[in-house]
Structure 1
Amino acid sequence: MGALPTRGAIVATARESISRGSKSFAAASLLFGRRTRERAWLLYAWCRRCDDIVDGQDHGHGMSAVADAPVRVAEVAAMTELALSDEVVGDPAFDALRIVAAETRMPSSFARDVIAGFALDAEEWRPRSEDDLYRYCYHVAGAVGCMMAVVMGVAPDDEDTLDRACDLGIAFQLANIARDVCEDDIAGRCYLPEDWLVEMDMPPGEHMKPHYRPRLAVLGKRLAARAAAFEASAREGTPALPFRSAWAVLAAAGIYGAIGRKVASGGEHAWDRRVTTSSAAKIGFIARAGVEATRRRALYPRRPRDPSLWTRPRISLAESVPTP
C-alpha cells in the first residue's frame, strides 16, 4: 500500500476542482488569507464531488437524469460519514472534508444536512410552498454557508453570524434557481413552488412553454427579490468577520447578486441564454467589495436579523461537534 496523499496534494486537487467548477467562487476565494483559502477549497471540493456523483456530471457540467440516484446518495453519505469520523476515505474530495472538518471542528450536522438536500433531489421532491423552497435552499446551500462561516473562524455557537452565513447561501441558491429554470426543466426538475405555479395558472411541467413566459418572468423577479432580501441580511453579518473574509463574502455577494438582478431585468427573455457575469464585472465587484469591507461596520451596523426571513433549523452542539 502506497503512502497516503499529503494535505498539500489534497489542497492542490481541491484548487483544481474549484478552478474548473466555479470561476466566481475561485475568484472570491483568492481574497482569503492562505489557511482560510485552502480550507475553502477543501470544502468546495467535497460539495462539488457530492453534486457530481449524485447528478452524474463533471464539475457542474452535463447534468442528466440518473436511474440510481438513491444509491448514489447512499454512497455519498457513507463516504461523508467516514470523513466526519476522521477516517481516510481514499477519494481526494472526501478526504478534503476529513481534513477541513478536523481542523475547524466543523459541526457534523451541517454536512449531513447537505446530504439530506441531495436525498430530496434523488426522491424527485418538489416544493409545494415558499417555505418548502427555503428549506430546500437551506439543505443544498444555506448549510454550506454555515460550513464556510466555520471555515472563516466563526464559532459553532455564534448563532447570529451562522444565520447570516446561511442567508447568503440561500440567496445564492435562489439566484441559481431563477437563472437555471430552463436547464432544470430539461433535466426534469422544477424548484418553483407549486403554490406559485397555481397562482400564475401555469400547469406543472409546462412553465417553459413560450406563451407562459410573461408569467414566468413574474416569478423570476420574485425569486430575485427574495434572493436580494437574504443577501442584504448576509451583508449585515460581515462586521463579525476578519477583513479578508468579509472582503471575499462581499465580493461573492456582489457577483452572485448580479445573477438574480440580470434575471429580473431580463423579463421573459431572461432564459434565452444562460445568465453569466463577465470577468471584467467580477473584477469590478471584487474592487467594490474591498471598499465595502473597509467600511463594513459603518455600512452594515449590527442590528437584529429581519424576523420575516425564513430561519434555519438549530443544531445540538453537544451532538454535532466532534471531540478533539
Structure 2
Amino acid sequence: MISLEVKACGPMTSLQDHGRAGYQRFGVSPSGAMDFRSLAAANALVGNPPDTAGIEFVNLGGAFTCAGGDLGIALVGAECALTIDGAQIPAQTSVILKEGQTAQVGHARSGTFAYLAVAGGFSVEPQLGSLSFHLRSRLGGLNGSPLKAGDRLPCDAGAQAGEPMHLPLDLRGGEDPIRVMLGPQDDYFTPDAIETFLSEEFTVSPQADRMGFQLTGPRIEHAKGFNIVSDGIVTGHIQIPGSGHPIVLMRDRQTAGGYPKIATVIGADLDRFAQLRPGSPVRFRAVDRAEAVAAARAYRDWIAALPEALMPVRFDLTTEHLLSVNLIGGAVDALSR
C-alpha cells in the first residue's frame, strides 16, 4: 500500500475535509478545513472531489516521505514553499512524489493555512462521516489525534499519479471588507455600536485559533447587556462578550453560546477571513440576504469550475507559454547599487 510517512510537522498539522454535518444537536462541532477553497483547489490538481480530506498546515510546514509506490500531490493555500528532495516545485502545481522521495513544506510566509492533497485521498476510517480532526473532542484525524513525526498515512491504493497540472488562478484574499449579515441579535447593540462595527477598522489578535478569532479595536457597546439565553451557533457568527471586543467563531467553534451576536460572516468570505494573520487589519461591510445568496452561488460555481481551469505543466518555450507565466520577480536599478 502506498503511504506517506510523517518525518516532521507542526503541532497542529491535521487531516481536514468538509467537516461533519448533522451532529450539532448532539453538541458536536462541524470542524473542517479553515480555507475550504484552497483545499478544493489542491484536490482539483490531483483529480479528487473538492471535499476529499487533505493535510492542513497551520503556519508551520512538515516533511513527508512516500513509501510503496508513486503518489500525486499538490500544495495550495498560504504561501509555503514545496520542495521534492530539495527541488523547488512551482506554486499551485501538482507533482509526482516517487517512492522514497521526501516532500518538504516550508513555513507560511503569508496567510496561515495550507493544504496538501494526495491523489485518491487517505485510506483512514472516518468518524461521524468525516476525517476532520477536532482538538477538543478528539474526533477525526489519525486515531483521534493531529499528525506527528512517525505517523504513517495510508493512501488509496487504486489512485493513479496523473499528469502534473497547474492552476493559474489567484487565490490570495483581497483587501475588500469582509461581508456580513447583521444579526441575529443586532438589536442588543446601540445604533452607534453598529455604526462603529461597520465603519471602524479592527485587528486580528494573537488570540486566534480554529475555534475563533478575537479582534482588537474600538469597543462595541451593548444596549441590553451581554448575556442572552444560549442559542445555536454557526460558523462566522460574531459574538460580542462583556469586553466589547468581537470574536469571530470559526470551524471548531462551540455549537451554542450565550453572548449576543452582532453579525455573521457570509460563507463566501469565510476562507478569506481565515487566512488573516495576527496583526492583520479587517473591516466589515453589511450585505442583505440577496447579495449573500448570490455570493454563495458564485462560490459554489467557482469550486465546481476548478477542474476546467487546470493547465498541463509545460516545459516548452513557446511564446504562448512564456507569456502565460511570471518570469520576472522584480526589477533592480544597476546605477543604484
The TM-score with structure 1 as length reference comes to 0.25
The structure with the largest alpha-carbon Rg is 2
Structure with greater strand share of residues? 2
Structure with greater helix share of residues? 1
The TM-score with structure 2 as length reference comes to 0.25
